[in-house]
Structure 1
Amino acid sequence: MYGTLAAAIVIEVVATLALRASDGFRRKVWIAPVVAGYVASFYLLWLTLGLGMPVGIAYGVWTACGVALVAVIARFLFAEPLTWVMALGIALIVGGVLTIELAGVAH
């Protein structure tokens, strides 16, 4: 279940970075990886839910990890800004998702 979710996250991050590289779809070579990546990512997220992970936890982890990874990787690939305020925001997102996950496990 967590392996499927991890694969969904990695593929979604690659698709999002490909979307950035496509320059608003002006670079046509990136369209296929974007579309295929998002389709595959949603399929894996759907499988994760089918394996029994609650949607609040699966979606929270998927989005939080996606936001954090894209922000950090885009800093290096595309020289996009990553300020300490943005890093604080990422930390707060991750903390919120961990709180939701821990509350979900308690029930």
Structure 2
Amino acid sequence: MSGAAAAWLAGAVLAQVVGIGSLRASAGFRRPVFAVLTLLGIGASVALMARALVSGVSLAVGYGIWTGSGIALATLGGAAVFGDRLGRRELLGVALVVLGVVVVHAGG
């Protein structure tokens, strides 16, 4: 994966995490600033992922990294920002997702 493709993909992951975190903060779209930030973040994530694909990231690798990283970071962000409780099972699940992302990236 080229440096530009990796940068587009990293941006897509970060935008996705911002969008999903904002969705939580929007309280069911009742807080307009966070509702708009949700739509912008998720829209930017899709646009950046499209750029990553055009830059040479394969769909299988790119989608695996995009979704897996987004899941792991959103879960950990929910715990850090919103106080979501993560037990041993949840932490094991996040660890497995991270391991899956590493394996997909190594294979790609």
Name the TM-score, length of structure 1 as normaliser: 0.90
Are 1:91 and 2:95 an aligned pair?
Answer: yes
Aligned length: 104
- The CA distance in 1 between the partners of 2:101 and 2:81, in whole Å, is 26
Aligned to 2:33: 29
Aligned structure 1 segments of 4 or more residues deviating by more than 6 angstroms = none
Give the drift of 1:19.
0.2
Aligned to 1:79: 83
Are 1:43 and 2:42 an aligned pair?
Answer: no
Give the unaligned 5+ runs of structure 1: none
- The CA distance in 2 between the partners of 1:84 and 1:40, in whole Å, is 33
Name the TM-score, length of structure 2 as normaliser: 0.89
Match of 1:2 among 6, 14, 21: 6
Contact 2:69 / 2:101 at 8 angstroms: preserved in 1?
Answer: no
Give the drift of 1:71.
1.0
Give the drift of 1:91.
1.2
Give the drift of 1:73.
1.3
